[in-house]
Chain A
Amino acid sequence: MKSSSAGWIFVAPALAALGVFFVIPVASALAMSFTDFDIYALADIANLRFVGLSNYVRLLQTPLFWQALLNTFYFVVVGVPLSIAVSLGAALLLNSRLVRFKAFYRTALFAPVVTTLVAVAVVWRYLLHTRYGFLNYALAAFGIDPIDWLGDPHWAMPAIIVMSVWKNFGYNMVILLAALQAVPAELYEAARIDGASALRQLRDVTLPALAPVLLMVSILTMAGHFQLFAEPYVMTQGGPAQRTITVLYFMYDEGFKWWSLGSASAVAFVLFVIMFAVTLLQLRAARYTEAA
């Protein structure tokens, strides 16, 4: 067996699996989004018709789809910066030389990341309970009246954001901690000699050194946040007043509740295009600030 043919033989099973179960479905999804694939086509493929862009046009005329987009953007725009800020804060604390039991703390703060999303969403539903939940109990100590977290249209998405920050901040914390440990100590030494305060060191040494990692972390975190689904499915079922319906939730209902698979495919592609555009925008912005 020559090395060159061996190479293809070694990668063939993986490429075949990805081709059959990913590339072909993605291409088919694009094709399906131009058809009226629904429950009738599911029963008999002869009922399938090519409808051009009408799935996309109809989506743009559907108020619930706009609501889903709006809710998803709310989650991304508030949740991503908050999540990264908490990750960075925790990483900075953990990176201090004064910390004892560092390994324990790192594990403790990371633990929510490996837990099952559905299970902890169930737990949080009770922590967020209006009357018997711990969150309102803690807020009462500060004189804040009980909030109907999951029942009030204004508070449901913030509640999901809080839960999601708790669940995810450990992931970026570990990545940022590794990046912090790679910042050369001489940089801090030089800043100290120049009499820079801790805050200035953070602004002028730490953050610039972390910039590439922060960019990567924000791109990945944003991609994850655009795919919000299980939290609202378990905690609010899209309510109250449809304030927690997300794009993927909408896609799931469209495709697997109403069996409008053509329309669901269009939703998936709209989400894909938005995610792609936002990622490009971030890269462009990063290059711009770098040049400036």
Chain B
Amino acid sequence: MSDARPAKSLAINAALAVVAALTLFPLAWMFSASLMAPGETSVFPPPLLPRSVTLANYRELFATAGIGRQIANSALIAACATVLSLVFNLSAGYAFAKLRFAGRDATFRTLLGALVIPGQVAMMPLFLMLKQMGLVNTYAGALVPWLASVFGIFLVRQYALSIPDELLEAARIDGAGELRIFTSIVLPLLTPIVVTLAVLTFLGSWNDFMWPLIVLTDRELQTLPVALAGLSREHVQDTELMMAGSVVTVLPVLVLFLVLQRYYMQGLLMGSVKG
């Protein structure tokens, strides 16, 4: 058995290295091709690295296509979605975990039941409703689905369950009001799940496609994925330019994920044990 170890170890590590290389290749090539001169990728065999590094595609993207505007839109919408989702979900998640009120458990079960309904079912009436309210083609229209989410409430609730009741009781005996208890005792304890929910919401909103595609038709208001999908139809042949556009879209969320990976993974694993 000890003889087989080194060979087995080598095989497993080599297999993983190959899988990782294949997985990272599309992303690595996206970066590489974004630095190539226009037309450079359209040869056989396809080049791996630029002959000479150029930022021409990025200049074109910002100067001609005006992508700066869409970056700002995406950043603003994702940031607002994050703040709003925290405001709505934190207090609800905490209350479902720790405050006793009539109908609490039945309400929570109903919410979980609603998870089986795909969000797209609501899109047609939601669009009409926002049209009535004059919110089509506004940032507010893009933000509406991000206010409260069953998943967000669930995530906060699961985490808040671990807060000891004695801590809250002691504060009540000291005469603290429920709002005061929430802001000065509960919120600090919830910090890890606040970061988790924030990063999940930011990434979710940044990467979202179908709803912004529907509700933001004005180019000046579009988010990056919507603008990129539009650009890719107009510039099918401009591989290098499109790679630069993809880099600009992917890089912010990739960096954010790498920095806050621990929190992201925690959310993913907690969300998957809803059973």
> A99, B42: Cβ atoms under 8 Å?
no
A-B contacts, CB under 8 A, total: 269
Closest 4 CB pairs of A and B: A7-B101, A10-B95, A14-B92, A25-B122
> A126, B243: Cβ atoms under 8 Å?
yes
Instruction: Indicate whether A265 sits within 8 Å of B125 (C-beta atoms), given known contacts A17-B148, A18-B148, A271-B118.
Output: yes
Interface residues of B in 234-267 (CB under 8 A from A): 239, 242-243, 245-246, 249-250, 253-254, 257-258, 261, 264-265
Measured as residues with beta carbon below 8 angstroms from the partner, the interface class of chain B is: 35 or more
Residue in chain B with minimal CB distance to A106: B265
Q: Does B126 contact A (CB under 8 A)?
A: yes
Residue in A21, A127, A170, A175 whose CB lies within 8 Å of B122: A21
> A131, B120: Cβ atoms under 8 Å?
no
Q: Does B29 contact A (CB under 8 A)?
A: yes
How far is it, in angstroms, between the C-alpha of A137 and the C-alpha of B43 when the chains are bound? Answer: 11
> A119, B116: Cβ atoms under 8 Å?
no
Measured as residues with beta carbon below 8 angstroms from the partner, the interface class of chain A is: 35 or more
> B253, A132: Cβ atoms under 8 Å?
no
> B268, A268: Cβ atoms under 8 Å?
no
Instruction: Indicate whether A276 sits within 8 Å of B209 (C-beta atoms), given known contacts A265-B124, A268-B121.
Output: no
The A interface is mostly helix, strand or loop, or mixed, namely helix
Chain B interfacial positions (CB closer than 8 Å to A):
5, 8-9, 12-13, 15-16, 19-20, 23-27, 29-30, 33, 41-46, 87-89, 91-92, 94-96, 99-102, 104, 107, 111, 114, 116-129, 144-145, 147-148, 150, 153, 172, 177-179, 182, 203, 206-207, 209-210, 213-214, 224-226, 228-229, 232-233, 239, 242-243, 245-246, 249-250, 253-254, 257-258, 261, 264-265, 268-269, 272, 275
> A109, B20: Cβ atoms under 8 Å?
yes
Q: Does A252 contact B (CB under 8 A)?
A: yes
The B interface is mostly helix, strand or loop, or mixed, namely helix
CB contacts (< 8 Å) of B229 on chain A: these are 118, 122, 230, 233-234
How far is it, in angstroms, between the C-alpha of A130 and the C-alpha of B124 when the chains are bound? Answer: 38
How far is it, in angstroms, between the C-alpha of A25 and the C-alpha of B104 when the chains are bound? Answer: 24
